[in-house]
């Protein structure tokens, strides 16, 4: 039988054998997989693991600071890199979802490559690839692979020429969480919803600007904090908000307003391949909607997405 303690013990020994005194660079995303991979490699080689956590300006509100602080408190050798402007510049004026994904992927590679070059003699690239990623990247392309180009897997540019170390590539998600728990990762990281690599850029329909990111971060935070407060966070598989390229009429006091519309999306799912819209309580939706409209300047209407996948996808882009 598989158990996380013996997995950690044998994997750490194998990693030590394989890596010796070599240096490894690993990109942290804030998600479960890269975090657990980092903790495991760190357990094996300590400071020879160089973690890079990039702020692409498309993360959730306060996420970069919060997650960076928890990585540091876990003892990881981590460098936080503020690349917001570089990403916003690359995204400027782009409206096509795939063009946005490509610009983000390319910018990430540029930033990461630059950071990797700062680490003298680095020999390995650490990755949080898990078993389902391995399967997905070799199988006949499923809908999510053909409709959208995901950047999690195989994103290694040739010119980096590093050997790859992927200590989680035989594990399923729940096993990864169990390993993370054994390694002392906080529940806040282990239990978090999936979040797409391109982040809020694919939840802002149309072109991305820092102002729109700011509005969407505020809306998203009210929604996610509300889910946490009402004990609903763990009942949904993923949740987030979309900023629509639409303005609608409203009233505020005696004034007519003409402001933005946001859509909330929450789904239940097992693996993200199919999903049902989450039947969140009306009371909860009413409170979140009020919160958002009262507190986020520039938004005067909130709608809830009641589409299932298929045929709708989870993300709107």
* 8 among annotated binding-site residues: no
Nearer to ligand XMP, 105 or 250 (CB): 105
Site string for ligand XMP, 260-279 (x = CB under 6 A): ------------x-------
Cβ neighbour number for residue 46 with a 10 Å cutoff? 11
Q: What backbone phi and psi angles, to 5 degrees, belong to 260? A: -80, 155
At 24 the three-state DSSP class reads strand
Cα-to-chain-centroid distance, residue 15: 26
Residue choice 84, 102, 150, 235 for contact with ligand XMP (CB under 6 A): 150
Nearer to ligand XMP, 151 or 235 (CB): 151
Nearest to 239 by CA among 205, 277, 270: 277
- Minimum CB separation of residue 174 from ligand XMP in Å reads 16
E strands, the chain, are 24-28, 49-55, 78-82, 124-126, 163-165, 238-252, 255-268, 276-277, 299-304
Residue choice 18, 79, 102, 151 for contact with ligand XMP (CB under 6 A): 151
For residue 11, give every residue at least 6 positions away whose Cβ sits within 8 Å of its Cβ, in sequence order, or none.
40, 44, 167
Considering the rule CB under 6 A, would residue 56 count as an interface residue with ligand XMP? no
Beta bridge partners of 276: 268
Considering the rule CB under 6 A, would residue 238 count as an interface residue with ligand XMP? yes
Considering the rule CB under 6 A, would residue 197 count as an interface residue with ligand XMP? yes
CA distances from 192 to 35, 63, 96 (A): 12, 12, 28
Nearer to ligand XMP, 4 or 194 (CB): 194
Considering the rule CB under 6 A, would residue 101 count as an interface residue with ligand XMP? yes
- Give the DSSP per-residue string, 27-61: EE-SSHHHHHHHHHHHHHHGGGEEEEEEE-S-SPT
- Minimum CB separation of residue 121 from ligand XMP in Å reads 30
Nearer to ligand XMP, 31 or 126 (CB): 31
At 276 the three-state DSSP class reads strand
Considering the rule CB under 6 A, would residue 198 count as an interface residue with ligand XMP? yes
Considering the rule CB under 6 A, would residue 180 count as an interface residue with ligand XMP? no
**The one segment of 66-74, 169-177, 214-222, 307-315 that binds ligand XMP by CB under 6 A:** 307-315
Residue 262 zone, left/alpha/beta (φ > 0; ψ -120 to 50; rest): beta
Nearer to ligand XMP, 150 or 173 (CB): 150
Considering the rule CB under 6 A, would residue 194 count as an interface residue with ligand XMP? yes
- Minimum CB separation of residue 48 from ligand XMP in Å reads 28
- Minimum CB separation of residue 101 from ligand XMP in Å reads 5
Beta bridge partners of 24: 49, 124
Residue choice 148, 173, 181, 235 for contact with ligand XMP (CB under 6 A): 148
Nearer to ligand XMP, 138 or 270 (CB): 270
Q: Do 289 and 295 contact (CB within 8 A), yes or no?
A: no
Annotated binding residues for ATP, as ranges?
Answer: 29-35
Interface residue list for ligand XMP (CB under 6 A): 101, 144, 148, 150-152, 194, 196-198, 238, 272, 309, 313-315
């Amino acid at each position: 039988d598989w158990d996380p303690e013996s997995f950690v013990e044998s994997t750490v020994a194998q990693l030590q054998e394989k890596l010796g005194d070599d240096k490894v660079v690993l990109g942290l995303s804030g998600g479960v997989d890269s975090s657990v991979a980092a903790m495991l490699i760190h357990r094996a080689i300590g400071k020879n693991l160089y973690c890079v956590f990039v702020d692409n300006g498309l993360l959730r509100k306060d996420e970069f600071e919060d997650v960076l602080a928890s990585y540091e408190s876990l003892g990881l050798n981590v460098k936080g890199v503020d690349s917001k402007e570089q990403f916003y510049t690359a995204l400027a004026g782009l409206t096509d979802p795939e063009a946005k994904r490509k610009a983000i992927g390319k910018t990430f590679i540029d930033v990461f490559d630059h950071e990797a070059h700062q680490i003298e003699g680095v020999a390995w690239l650490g990755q949080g690839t898990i078993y389902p990623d391995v399967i997905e990247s070799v199988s006949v392309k499923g809908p999510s692979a053909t409709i959208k180009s995901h950047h999690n897997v195989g994103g290694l540019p040739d010119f980096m020429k590093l050997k790859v170390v992927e200590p989680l590539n035989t594990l399923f998600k729940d096993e990864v969480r169990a390993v993370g728990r054994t390694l002392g990762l906080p529940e806040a990281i282990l239990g978090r919803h999936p979040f797409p690599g391109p982040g809020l850029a694919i939840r802002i329909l149309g072109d991305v600007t820092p102002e729109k990111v700011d509005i969407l971060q505020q809306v998203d935070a009210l929604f996610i904090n509300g889910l946490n407060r009402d004990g609903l966070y763990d009942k949904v598989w993923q949740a987030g908000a979309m900023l629509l390229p639409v303005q609608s009429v409203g009233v505020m006091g005696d004034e007519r307003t003409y402001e933005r519309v946001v859509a909330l999306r929450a789904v239940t799912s097992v693996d993200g391949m199919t999903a049902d819209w989450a039947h969140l309580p009306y009371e909860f939706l009413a409170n979140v909607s009020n919160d958002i409209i009262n507190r986020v300047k520039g938004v005067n209407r909130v709608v809830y997405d009641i589409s299932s996948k298929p045929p709708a996808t989870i993300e709107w882009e």
